[in-house]
Amino acid sequence: MEEVKNYTVLIYTENQIGLLAQISNVFTRRNLSIWSLSAGASSMEGIHTITITTDATERKIRDAVRQIEKRVDVIKAFFYTDDKIVYREMALYKLPTPRLLDCEDLEGLLAKYNARIVEMNRTFTVIQKSGHSDLTSALYEELQQFGILQFVRSGRIAITRAQQEPVFKFLQKREKERLNKQ
């Protein structure tokens, strides 16, 4: 059997309503769980990115990515193992302020995890952390002693180690082809 690995799929799309449902279906139909999904803008105007993480064999992820790319409004899709990308997720932790104040070295704890306080009032405090998910979980464990009131983590976002947006060259080539057609 082929090895199952964690993959990050980076999808560049035209702004098209309904595309997200079609893309996530490519995963569910192949029985691939989507661990996280985030969608937003890219550095190129009008082009959106969707970042999805999933566990799959290389063959399965390749086939899924080809199916995604086949959608007319998908510009390009790529898949990466963790070593090929810089990636982060964000987490927010809400804790009761009075109990948090009991903490002997809150600053030290926050510094250790590169986390910071984004809001604090008499009743609760919100701590924000961004980074890799194992550290998000580790901080969660450490904060549990103070009674976590609410916790939320975002999907992964990722950027490649390549020089430019990976679609950049593709779009340049397509622009030339468009001009040739006219």
Residues that bind another protein (CB under 8 A): 13-14, 17-18, 21-22, 25, 59, 62-63, 66-67, 69-70, 72-76, 171, 174-175, 177-178, 181
Residue closer to another protein (CB basis): 18 or 108: 18
Buried b (16+ CB within 10 A) or exposed e, 45-76: eebbbbbbbbebeeebbeebbebbeebeebbb
Locate 107 and state its tokens: 């600053």
Give the Å distances, CA to CA, from 99 to 19, 116, 143: 45, 17, 11
Question: How near is the Cβ of 66 to another protein at its closest, in Å?
Answer: 4
Residue closer to another protein (CB basis): 28 or 123: 28
Is 158 exposed, middle or buried (CB count within 10 Å of its CB: 0-12, 13-18, 19+)?
A: buried
Q: How far apart are CA 33 and CA 51, in angstroms?
A: 14
Residue closer to another protein (CB basis): 99 or 173: 173
Residue closer to another protein (CB basis): 74 or 100: 74
Contact by Cβ (8 Å): 5, 81? yes
Question: How near is the Cβ of 182 to another protein at its closest, in Å?
Answer: 8
Residue type, 30: R
Question: How near is the Cβ of 55 to another protein at its closest, in Å?
Answer: 20
Buried b (16+ CB within 10 A) or exposed e, 90-101: bbbbbbeeeebe
Question: How near is the Cβ of 79 to another protein at its closest, in Å?
Answer: 14
Residue closer to another protein (CB basis): 25 or 43: 25
